Every structure is written in structure tokens, then in C-alpha cells.
Amino acid sequence: MIVDLSHPIEDGIQTFPGGWHPNVAIQTLGRLCVEGRRSTRIELGTHTATHIDAPSHFIEDGDSIDRIPLELITGAASVIDFRHLSHRTAVSAEAMVAALPDELHTPRVLLRFGWSKHYNTPTFYDSYPYLTLEAAEVLIDKGVRLLGYDTPSPDDPNNGRGAELDSPVHKVLLTSNVWLVEYLNNLDALPVNVHFCALPLPLVGVDGAPARCIGVVDD
């Protein structure tokens, strides 16, 4: 069975809630009745809907999205369940150690918070559970290279743009070359072990890209 793990991209959906990051705009260019063919103009930010953050999103000399290792974006992944957490709850280092298997045999980890049900609402951005810096360091020490989650960020909602601490968890993960798959959908449908595939657009020199993500589950 193949599970679609991406949110659809539609006209008008919100991306990051900031005036400098506009909502998606989808407009008709070619028309069957005039130009004899359909074509469409799409305006969207690189961090729209389900997407991958490249290190260059926050790191001056970090890799861009076209340089993501292809062997990293497909393969076995471990799904770690945090659905018991309430709004704005931090995952501590101790909680991360307890949730991870003793032996992690894959560099791909998906964190399941059950948060995708809030997608495209204000709650999605202002109340999600998040990681402490120490929890992020546990993942780095475990050899994680691709980290996905069904929330908009690994950081405390209070630590966004303009805060005294702007996105410290993003920065420690991306500095360690951990690529981030954000806004995942349907993680509830996955078992603990799954074959994961995340395919971003190969935008040269760019800080991230929307991605079609799937989970392949043995029948």
C-alpha cells in the first residue's frame, strides 16, 4: 500500500504566516478556447505545504535543495510516535531517547505528532509541539540525516522570526546537515517501520522546495 504523505497545494492556501511569504496564487495562462491548450502560472514560496528545508535555509554556506543526496530521500524510515503530547509541549532529550529504538538502523526518522489535522488553520502555526535543543542533539548523535514531522517546525512556536532566539533547533539540525521534511500528512496511517520517499523539485541554488512524499507499507 502506498500512503500519500503530502498536503495538496491549492490556490490561496497559507504558507508561513508572514507578509513577506505570500499565499499560493494559481492563475490561468493558456486556455483551450483561445490558445488551444491549458497552462498555468503558479506563485508560491519554497516552504509551501509539504516541503524540504535545505541547510541553506538558515546556514550561510549550507547546501541548496538541488544538492540533497538522492540516496537520502528514499529508503527505510522509523516512525516515532508523540501523539500523546498536548499543544505547545516540548520534547525533551529524555523523552526522545525513550521514544527512539535502542538501535536506529536508518538515517531517516519521522516524528508523528498527529498535527496535520490542524493544517491550514492558525492553530497549525501557533500551538504545535516542538523539540528542545537537547532533543535535536540526540537525533544528531543517533546519526539522523533526514528528519520529517507533521508540524510546521521543530522549533518552539515562540522562537520564530523576530524572537531573541530565532529558530535555534532549525539551525543546529541544518548545521549538522540534517535535512528537514516539514508539514507531512497522514503519518497516522504508517507503521513503525516504513519505506519513505520524499522528492523535492531540484531548484538550483535554492533554500528548499515543495516535495511529493509517500510511505510504502507492506500489505
Positions marked active-site: 57
| 172: nearest Cα among 209, 196, 138 | 138
CB 147 within 8 Å of CB 119: no
Buried b (16+ CB within 10 A) or exposed e, 114-149: bbbebbeeeebbebbbbbbbbbbbbbbebebbbbbb
CB 184 within 8 Å of CB 213: yes
Interacting residues of 126 by C-beta distance below 8 A, sequence separation 6+: 157
**Count of alpha carbons within 13 Å of 195, Cβ hemisphere only?**
9
* Separation CA 108–CA 73 (nearest Å): 8
Give CA separation, 112 vs 61, 138, 154, 165, 183, in Å: 30, 17, 12, 25, 11
* Separation CA 27–CA 73 (nearest Å): 31
